[in-house]
Amino acid sequence: MPLLRLEAVSRDFDVSRPWLNRVLEGEPRRSLRAVDRVDLEVERGETLALVGESGCGKSTVARLIVGLYAPTEGRIAFTGRRMQMIFQDPYASLNPRWRVKDIVAEPIVVLGLQEEKSIQERVFDLLVQVGLSPDDAARYPHEFSGGQRQRISIARALAGEPDLLLCDEPTSALDVSVQAQILNLMTELQRRLSLTYVFISHNLAVVSQVADRVGVMYLGRIVELGSSSSLFARPRHPYTRMLLDAVPDLQMSGKARTPVAGEVPNPLEPPPGCVFHPRCPHANERCRAERPAVIDSIACHAVAEGRI
Protein backbone atom coordinates (compact mmCIF):
# COMPACT_ATOMS: atom_id res chain seq x y z
CA MET A 1 0.00 0.00 0.00
CA PRO A 2 1.54 3.35 -0.98
CA LEU A 3 2.08 6.03 1.64
CA LEU A 4 0.11 8.53 -0.40
CA ARG A 5 -2.33 8.02 -3.26
CA LEU A 6 -4.12 10.62 -5.39
CA GLU A 7 -6.96 9.30 -7.51
CA ALA A 8 -8.24 11.55 -10.32
CA VAL A 9 -7.84 14.62 -8.12
CA SER A 10 -9.05 17.93 -9.56
CA ARG A 11 -9.26 21.38 -8.08
CA ASP A 12 -11.25 24.31 -9.45
CA PHE A 13 -10.96 27.92 -8.37
CA ASP A 14 -13.80 30.39 -8.72
CA VAL A 15 -12.48 33.37 -10.63
CA SER A 16 -15.85 35.00 -11.33
CA ARG A 17 -16.15 38.75 -11.25
CA PRO A 18 -17.98 40.26 -8.26
CA TRP A 19 -21.71 39.56 -7.93
CA LEU A 20 -22.79 43.06 -8.97
CA ASN A 21 -20.76 42.92 -12.20
CA ARG A 22 -22.22 39.53 -13.01
CA VAL A 23 -25.76 40.79 -12.50
CA LEU A 24 -25.31 44.09 -14.36
CA GLU A 25 -23.22 42.76 -17.22
CA GLY A 26 -24.93 39.40 -17.44
CA GLU A 27 -21.71 37.44 -17.03
CA PRO A 28 -21.75 33.82 -15.96
CA ARG A 29 -19.65 32.36 -13.17
CA ARG A 30 -16.21 31.32 -14.34
CA SER A 31 -13.96 28.74 -12.86
CA LEU A 32 -10.35 27.83 -13.44
CA ARG A 33 -9.21 24.22 -13.29
CA ALA A 34 -5.78 24.39 -11.64
CA VAL A 35 -5.37 20.64 -11.24
CA ASP A 36 -7.04 18.30 -13.70
CA ARG A 37 -7.55 14.60 -12.85
CA VAL A 38 -4.14 13.91 -11.37
CA ASP A 39 -3.23 10.34 -10.40
CA LEU A 40 -0.19 9.85 -8.21
CA GLU A 41 1.30 7.35 -5.79
CA VAL A 42 4.16 7.93 -3.38
CA GLU A 43 5.93 4.99 -1.77
CA ARG A 44 7.61 5.13 1.61
CA GLY A 45 11.25 6.25 1.51
CA GLU A 46 11.24 7.63 -2.03
CA THR A 47 11.47 11.16 -3.43
CA LEU A 48 8.79 12.05 -5.93
CA ALA A 49 9.35 15.33 -7.72
CA LEU A 50 6.77 17.40 -9.57
CA VAL A 51 8.24 19.72 -12.14
CA GLY A 52 6.75 22.29 -14.50
CA GLU A 53 6.60 25.94 -15.46
CA SER A 54 4.76 28.60 -13.46
CA GLY A 55 1.02 28.08 -13.42
CA CYS A 56 1.18 24.36 -14.18
CA GLY A 57 -0.50 23.47 -10.89
CA LYS A 58 2.40 21.88 -9.05
CA SER A 59 2.04 24.01 -5.91
CA THR A 60 -1.73 23.44 -5.92
CA VAL A 61 -1.06 19.69 -5.84
CA ALA A 62 1.19 20.23 -2.80
CA ARG A 63 -1.53 22.22 -1.06
CA LEU A 64 -4.13 19.57 -1.90
CA ILE A 65 -1.91 16.87 -0.40
CA VAL A 66 -1.41 18.71 2.91
CA GLY A 67 -5.09 19.63 3.02
CA LEU A 68 -4.72 23.39 2.66
CA TYR A 69 -7.17 23.01 -0.25
CA ALA A 70 -9.95 20.45 -0.52
CA PRO A 71 -10.14 18.60 -3.84
CA THR A 72 -13.10 19.52 -6.05
CA GLU A 73 -13.17 15.97 -7.36
CA GLY A 74 -11.23 12.81 -6.67
CA ARG A 75 -9.77 11.20 -3.60
CA ILE A 76 -6.55 11.55 -1.60
CA ALA A 77 -5.52 8.68 0.69
CA PHE A 78 -2.66 8.97 3.19
CA THR A 79 -1.66 5.94 5.21
CA GLY A 80 0.94 7.65 7.40
CA ARG A 81 0.32 9.61 10.56
CA ARG A 82 1.67 13.06 9.81
CA MET A 83 3.06 15.26 7.09
CA GLN A 84 5.03 18.50 7.26
CA MET A 85 5.81 21.18 4.74
CA ILE A 86 8.94 23.16 3.84
CA PHE A 87 8.20 26.40 2.01
CA GLN A 88 10.06 28.38 -0.61
CA ASP A 89 10.60 31.64 1.22
CA PRO A 90 12.63 31.16 4.41
CA TYR A 91 11.99 34.81 5.28
CA ALA A 92 8.20 34.56 5.27
CA SER A 93 7.85 31.12 6.81
CA LEU A 94 9.47 31.76 10.19
CA ASN A 95 7.83 33.95 12.84
CA PRO A 96 10.23 36.89 13.33
CA ARG A 97 9.15 37.38 16.96
CA TRP A 98 9.94 33.86 18.10
CA ARG A 99 13.28 32.46 19.11
CA VAL A 100 14.56 29.50 17.09
CA LYS A 101 14.00 27.14 20.03
CA ASP A 102 10.30 28.06 20.18
CA ILE A 103 9.91 27.74 16.41
CA VAL A 104 11.44 24.28 16.37
CA ALA A 105 9.66 23.19 19.56
CA GLU A 106 6.19 24.19 18.37
CA PRO A 107 5.30 20.96 16.53
CA ILE A 108 6.61 18.92 19.49
CA VAL A 109 4.45 20.88 21.94
CA VAL A 110 1.33 20.98 19.76
CA LEU A 111 1.49 17.28 18.94
CA GLY A 112 2.61 16.30 22.45
CA LEU A 113 5.54 14.27 21.14
CA GLN A 114 7.91 14.67 24.11
CA GLU A 115 7.83 15.09 27.86
CA GLU A 116 8.20 18.74 28.70
CA LYS A 117 11.62 18.31 30.30
CA SER A 118 13.10 16.57 27.27
CA ILE A 119 11.87 19.10 24.69
CA GLN A 120 14.96 21.28 24.92
CA GLU A 121 17.26 18.34 24.38
CA ARG A 122 15.24 17.27 21.33
CA VAL A 123 15.44 20.82 19.88
CA PHE A 124 19.23 20.90 20.33
CA ASP A 125 19.46 17.49 18.70
CA LEU A 126 17.39 18.64 15.69
CA LEU A 127 19.49 21.80 15.26
CA VAL A 128 22.67 19.71 15.19
CA GLN A 129 21.10 17.34 12.66
CA VAL A 130 20.47 20.19 10.20
CA GLY A 131 23.98 21.61 10.65
CA LEU A 132 23.26 24.38 13.16
CA SER A 133 24.55 24.60 16.71
CA PRO A 134 22.62 24.39 20.02
CA ASP A 135 23.79 27.97 20.68
CA ASP A 136 21.56 29.09 17.81
CA ALA A 137 18.44 28.09 19.76
CA ALA A 138 18.29 31.40 21.66
CA ARG A 139 18.60 33.57 18.55
CA TYR A 140 15.91 35.12 16.34
CA PRO A 141 15.37 34.34 12.61
CA HIS A 142 16.70 37.74 11.43
CA GLU A 143 20.14 36.81 12.73
CA PHE A 144 20.44 34.04 10.13
CA SER A 145 21.17 33.98 6.40
CA GLY A 146 18.68 32.52 3.89
CA GLY A 147 20.35 29.11 3.85
CA GLN A 148 20.47 28.90 7.64
CA ARG A 149 16.81 29.87 7.84
CA GLN A 150 15.95 27.07 5.47
CA ARG A 151 17.85 24.76 7.84
CA ILE A 152 15.62 26.03 10.68
CA SER A 153 12.53 25.28 8.54
CA ILE A 154 13.82 21.76 7.98
CA ALA A 155 14.48 21.28 11.72
CA ARG A 156 10.93 22.45 12.47
CA ALA A 157 9.50 20.07 9.89
CA LEU A 158 11.49 17.16 11.31
CA ALA A 159 10.33 18.04 14.83
CA GLY A 160 6.86 16.81 13.93
CA GLU A 161 8.26 13.34 13.13
CA PRO A 162 6.51 13.33 9.75
CA ASP A 163 6.04 10.32 7.49
CA LEU A 164 5.93 12.62 4.49
CA LEU A 165 7.74 15.91 3.87
CA LEU A 166 6.36 18.26 1.23
CA CYS A 167 8.99 20.61 -0.09
CA ASP A 168 7.63 23.42 -2.27
CA GLU A 169 10.58 25.00 -4.13
CA PRO A 170 12.79 24.71 -1.03
CA THR A 171 15.92 26.07 -2.70
CA SER A 172 14.55 28.54 -5.26
CA ALA A 173 15.23 31.57 -3.08
CA LEU A 174 18.83 30.53 -2.37
CA ASP A 175 22.15 31.12 -4.11
CA VAL A 176 23.64 28.11 -5.91
CA SER A 177 26.37 27.38 -3.38
CA VAL A 178 23.82 27.51 -0.55
CA GLN A 179 21.37 25.48 -2.63
CA ALA A 180 24.03 22.76 -2.91
CA GLN A 181 24.37 22.73 0.90
CA ILE A 182 20.60 22.37 1.41
CA LEU A 183 20.15 19.70 -1.28
CA ASN A 184 23.04 17.68 0.18
CA LEU A 185 21.53 18.07 3.66
CA MET A 186 18.10 16.88 2.48
CA THR A 187 19.64 13.84 0.78
CA GLU A 188 21.65 12.97 3.92
CA LEU A 189 18.62 13.34 6.20
CA GLN A 190 16.60 11.11 3.90
CA ARG A 191 19.22 8.38 4.06
CA ARG A 192 19.63 8.67 7.83
CA LEU A 193 15.96 8.99 8.82
CA SER A 194 14.38 7.15 5.85
CA LEU A 195 12.19 10.14 4.99
CA THR A 196 9.71 10.38 2.13
CA TYR A 197 9.75 13.58 0.10
CA VAL A 198 7.37 15.14 -2.36
CA PHE A 199 9.58 17.73 -3.98
CA ILE A 200 8.09 20.57 -6.05
CA SER A 201 10.41 22.55 -8.30
CA HIS A 202 10.61 24.36 -11.61
CA ASN A 203 14.30 23.52 -11.91
CA LEU A 204 14.95 20.30 -13.83
CA ALA A 205 18.60 20.09 -12.83
CA VAL A 206 17.71 20.33 -9.13
CA VAL A 207 15.02 17.70 -9.57
CA SER A 208 17.43 15.32 -11.31
CA GLN A 209 19.76 15.54 -8.30
CA VAL A 210 17.18 14.61 -5.65
CA ALA A 211 14.34 12.64 -7.21
CA ASP A 212 13.74 8.92 -7.59
CA ARG A 213 10.63 9.49 -9.70
CA VAL A 214 9.54 12.60 -11.57
CA GLY A 215 6.12 13.83 -12.70
CA VAL A 216 6.10 16.52 -15.38
CA MET A 217 3.09 18.84 -15.17
CA TYR A 218 1.58 21.06 -17.86
CA LEU A 219 -1.56 23.14 -17.42
CA GLY A 220 -2.87 21.15 -14.46
CA ARG A 221 -2.17 17.68 -15.83
CA ILE A 222 0.65 15.21 -15.35
CA VAL A 223 1.87 14.60 -18.89
CA GLU A 224 4.69 12.20 -18.08
CA LEU A 225 5.66 10.28 -14.98
CA GLY A 226 8.67 8.06 -14.71
CA SER A 227 11.79 7.10 -12.86
CA SER A 228 14.35 9.88 -12.76
CA SER A 229 16.89 7.71 -14.56
CA SER A 230 14.69 6.96 -17.56
CA LEU A 231 12.94 10.33 -17.76
CA PHE A 232 16.12 12.39 -17.94
CA ALA A 233 17.96 9.95 -20.19
CA ARG A 234 15.03 9.22 -22.53
CA PRO A 235 12.27 11.83 -22.25
CA ARG A 236 9.22 10.70 -24.23
CA HIS A 237 6.53 13.35 -24.03
CA PRO A 238 7.16 16.27 -26.44
CA TYR A 239 6.76 18.73 -23.56
CA THR A 240 9.36 16.95 -21.42
CA ARG A 241 11.72 16.97 -24.39
CA MET A 242 11.09 20.67 -24.91
CA LEU A 243 11.72 21.47 -21.24
CA LEU A 244 14.96 19.50 -21.19
CA ASP A 245 16.06 21.16 -24.38
CA ALA A 246 15.44 24.62 -22.94
CA VAL A 247 17.81 24.10 -20.00
CA PRO A 248 20.97 26.10 -20.73
CA ASP A 249 23.84 23.83 -21.65
CA LEU A 250 26.58 24.29 -19.08
CA GLN A 251 28.88 21.80 -20.73
CA MET A 252 28.94 24.00 -23.84
CA SER A 253 28.92 20.92 -26.01
CA GLY A 254 27.71 23.18 -28.81
CA LYS A 255 24.72 20.98 -29.59
CA ALA A 256 22.06 22.86 -31.49
CA ARG A 257 18.97 23.57 -29.43
CA THR A 258 15.55 23.56 -30.94
CA PRO A 259 14.13 26.95 -30.08
CA VAL A 260 10.90 26.58 -28.16
CA ALA A 261 7.99 28.37 -29.71
CA GLY A 262 4.99 29.83 -27.92
CA GLU A 263 3.95 30.15 -24.32
CA VAL A 264 1.76 28.37 -21.78
CA PRO A 265 -1.87 29.08 -22.78
CA ASN A 266 -4.32 30.88 -20.53
CA PRO A 267 -5.68 28.28 -18.08
CA LEU A 268 -9.09 29.98 -18.19
CA GLU A 269 -9.47 28.83 -21.79
CA PRO A 270 -7.39 25.68 -22.09
CA PRO A 271 -7.05 24.37 -25.65
CA PRO A 272 -9.35 21.45 -26.53
CA GLY A 273 -7.93 17.97 -26.82
CA CYS A 274 -4.35 17.68 -25.65
CA VAL A 275 -3.53 20.94 -23.84
CA PHE A 276 -0.03 20.94 -25.29
CA HIS A 277 -1.08 20.71 -28.97
CA PRO A 278 -0.65 24.44 -29.87
CA ARG A 279 3.08 24.20 -29.07
CA CYS A 280 3.67 20.61 -30.09
CA PRO A 281 5.59 19.82 -33.30
CA HIS A 282 3.86 16.43 -33.55
CA ALA A 283 0.25 17.56 -33.16
CA ASN A 284 -2.36 16.28 -35.61
CA GLU A 285 -6.18 16.34 -35.88
CA ARG A 286 -6.64 13.78 -33.14
CA CYS A 287 -4.46 15.80 -30.71
CA ARG A 288 -6.59 18.87 -31.35
CA ALA A 289 -9.84 17.06 -30.66
CA GLU A 290 -9.31 14.30 -28.13
CA ARG A 291 -7.76 14.38 -24.70
CA PRO A 292 -4.96 11.78 -24.54
CA ALA A 293 -5.40 9.01 -22.00
CA VAL A 294 -2.55 8.15 -19.68
CA ILE A 295 -0.98 5.03 -21.15
CA ASP A 296 2.14 3.63 -19.53
CA SER A 297 2.49 6.83 -17.42
CA ILE A 298 2.47 9.13 -20.41
CA ALA A 299 -0.36 11.21 -21.87
CA CYS A 300 0.43 11.69 -25.54
CA HIS A 301 -1.24 10.45 -28.73
CA ALA A 302 1.97 10.63 -30.74
CA VAL A 303 3.77 8.38 -28.25
CA ALA A 304 0.81 5.98 -27.99
CA GLU A 305 0.56 5.70 -31.78
CA GLY A 306 4.31 5.20 -32.08
CA ARG A 307 4.71 8.34 -34.20
CA ILE A 308 7.63 9.57 -32.06
Partner 1 sequence: MILSVENLTVQFPTRRGTLTALDSVSFSIAPGEVLGVVGESGAGKSITGMAVIRLLEPPGRIAGGEVRLEGRRIDDLPHEEMRKVRGRRIGVVFQDPLTSLNPLYTIGHQLVETISTHLPLTGKQARERAVSLLKEVGIPGAEARFEHYPHQFSGGMRQRVVIALAIAAEPKLIIADEPTTALDVSIQAQIIALLKRLAQTRGTAVMLITHDMGVIAETSDRVAVMYAGRIVEIGPVRDVIHAPRHPYTVGLMGSIPKIASRKTRLVQIDGAMPRLNAIPRGCAFNPRCPKRFERCLAERPGLLPAGTSEAACWLHAPAAA
Kindly list the residues in this chain that would bind partner 1 in the complex (CB under 8 A). Answer: 53-54, 145, 147, 175-181, 183-184, 187, 202-206, 208-212, 228-230, 232-233, 242-244, 246-252, 257, 259-260, 263-264
Would you give the distance in Å from CA 242 to the centre of its chain? 20
- Residues 236 and 292: their CA atoms lie apart, in Å, by 14
Amino acid at 39: D
- Is the dihedral angle over the CA atoms 132, 136, 137, 142 positive or is it negative? negative
Task: Output the smallest distance, CB 233 to partner 1, in A.
Answer: 4
Judged by beta carbon, residue 44 or residue 122, the one nearer partner 1 is: 44
Task: Output the smallest distance, CB 117 to partner 1, in A.
Answer: 34
Judged by beta carbon, residue 206 or residue 222, the one nearer partner 1 is: 206
Cα 241 to Cα 49, 236, 283, 290, 293: the distances in Å are 17, 7, 14, 22, 19
Judged by beta carbon, residue 55 or residue 134, the one nearer partner 1 is: 55
Task: Output the smallest distance, CB 55 to partner 1, in A.
Answer: 9
- b/e map of 224-249 (b: 16 or more CB within 10 Å)? bbbebeebbeebbbbbbbbbeeeeee
- Is residue 193 within 8 Å of residue 185, measured between CB atoms? no
Judged by beta carbon, residue 53 or residue 125, the one nearer partner 1 is: 53
Task: Output the smallest distance, CB 211 to partner 1, in A.
Answer: 8
Task: Output the smallest distance, CB 90 to partner 1, in A.
Answer: 13
Torsion angle of C-alpha atoms 238, 242, 244, 246, degrees rounded to 10: 180
Judged by beta carbon, residue 108 or residue 207, the one nearer partner 1 is: 207
* Backbone φ, ψ for residue 264 (5° rounding): -65, 130
Task: Output the smallest distance, CB 31 to partner 1, in A.
Answer: 22
- Residues 215 and 40: their CA atoms lie apart, in Å, by 9
In terms of Cα–Cα distance, which of 86, 16, 13, 6 is closest to 55?
13
Judged by beta carbon, residue 37 or residue 213, the one nearer partner 1 is: 213
- Is residue 66 within 8 Å of residue 250, measured between CB atoms? no
- Is residue 209 within 8 Å of residue 183, measured between CB atoms? yes
Task: Output the smallest distance, CB 249 to partner 1, in A.
Answer: 6
Task: Output the smallest distance, CB 232 to partner 1, in A.
Answer: 5
Judged by beta carbon, residue 249 or residue 285, the one nearer partner 1 is: 249
- Residues 123 and 306: their CA atoms lie apart, in Å, by 55
Judged by beta carbon, residue 10 or residue 201, the one nearer partner 1 is: 201
